[in-house]
Amino acid sequence: MHLCLLRIATTTRRTTRGLVGLASFQTRRPFSHLSATCHRPKNDKHNPLILDLDKRKSEKGGKNEKSKKKRIEWSAGSIGMLIIPAFAFSLGCWQVLRLRWKLNLLEHLKERLSQKAVELPSDLSAESLEPLEYCRVSITGEFLHDREFVISPRGRFDPGKSTSASAGSLLSENEMSSHGGHLITPFRLKSTGQVILINRGWLPSFYFEASSHEKTNPKGVVSLDAIVRKTEKRPQFVGKNVPEQGMWYYRDLEQMAEVHETLPVWLDAAYETTVPGGPIGGQTNINVRNEHMNYLTTWYTLTLVTLLMWVHKFRR
């Protein structure tokens, strides 16, 4: 009896061990397969489903290292090349100063036009009149209308050009906006008897004939204010004067004085001298060349371009 019970217990123990071992084997097998898959060598290129995370990390780290390594390569050559943008920048700053000076000059010249008139000096040489350009002077004498001529084409520069009818003018708006010229009349000074040239003002082209504005010509001795002007060089796209045919395109005082037997002195009659139906005075145009804004824009642009080129070349 006891012997039978011992055999049954031994058989039961062996069966239990077999079942436990089988369960343990089934449980460990998937993990062991996964472990073997996950720990495949990194150089296994046969299975495209395997992601090499370490390789991607190393590539990303390499890119960061390369980007961090970019810096300016300072050397004698790189420092020497900085002279170009530095020089361009300094020229731009200089043009800023020149622009301020030119704007102040223009304001000063405009103020001179409205200052109180002074007596025209007896010395009418170019050296004496040089400091008086754009200054208002007072003169007394008489016009020599038989020697007048027209310089054209010329636009209007008087203060009333934007109005439909200037003060004292009988011209309509359409007439004032048409092309015209400046009526130049020799003027004999009462004090010295010297003859100078006076720009009486702007006329439309259909009033160029002497008979069309004869009634507006001042007679006898008159006093008026005028602006001192200098000669001018022939503009680039303006034709040469043809004195033989009475064709004048620009203000060449020496040439005009020789043809009309006057001194090479030119005065622009003030706007207040405008006569009804006659020339419109005040045709002084402050013509001072001012290209400094273009220059400073050019130099600052060149500074930016050369600096970017320098950074591109020496930043590694």
Residue 267 in domain: yes
Structure tokens at 249: 């395109």
Per cent of the chain over pLDDT 70 is 72
Q: Are residues 310 and 206 in the same domain?
A: no
Q: Are residues 141 and 263 in the same domain?
A: yes
Q: Domain count of the chain?
A: 2
DSSP 231-277: --PPPTT-PPPBGGGTBB-S--HHHHHHHHT--S-EEEEPGGG--TT
Q: Which domain holds residue 309?
A: 82-108+292-314
Q: What confidence tens digit (pLDDT) does each residue in 103-126 have?
A: 898 888 888 888 899 999 989 998
Residue 265 in domain: yes
Q: What confidence tens digit (pLDDT) does each residue in 34-58 have?
A: 444 444 555 555 555 555 555 555 5
Q: Are residues 208 and 304 in the same domain?
A: no
Task: Give the DSSP letter of residue 84.
Answer: H
Least confident of 29-38, 129-138, 152-161, 232-241: 29-38
What count of residues does the chain have? 316
Structure tokens at 117: 């008139």
Task: Give the DSSP letter of residue 212.
Answer: G
Q: Would you place residue 140 in the very low, low, confident or very high pLDDT band (cuts 50, 70, 90)?
A: very high
Q: Are residues 267 and 220 in the same domain?
A: yes
SS3 172: coil
Q: Are residues 264 and 146 in the same domain?
A: yes
pLDDT on residue 73? 76
Q: How far apart are CA 12 and CA 77, in angstroms?
A: 93
Q: Are residues 217 and 302 in the same domain?
A: no
Q: How far apart are CA 203 and CA 148, in angstroms?
A: 13
pLDDT on residue 166? 42
Q: How far apart are CA 279 and CA 226, in angstroms?
A: 14
Q: What confidence tens digit (pLDDT) does each residue in 248-268 have?
A: 999 999 999 999 999 999 999
Q: What confidence tens digit (pLDDT) does each residue in 82-105 have?
A: 899 999 999 999 999 999 998 898
Q: Are residues 181 and 214 in the same domain?
A: yes
pLDDT on residue 159? 81
Residue 165 in domain: no
Q: Looking at the whole model, is its pTM more than 0.85?
A: no
Residue 144 in domain: yes
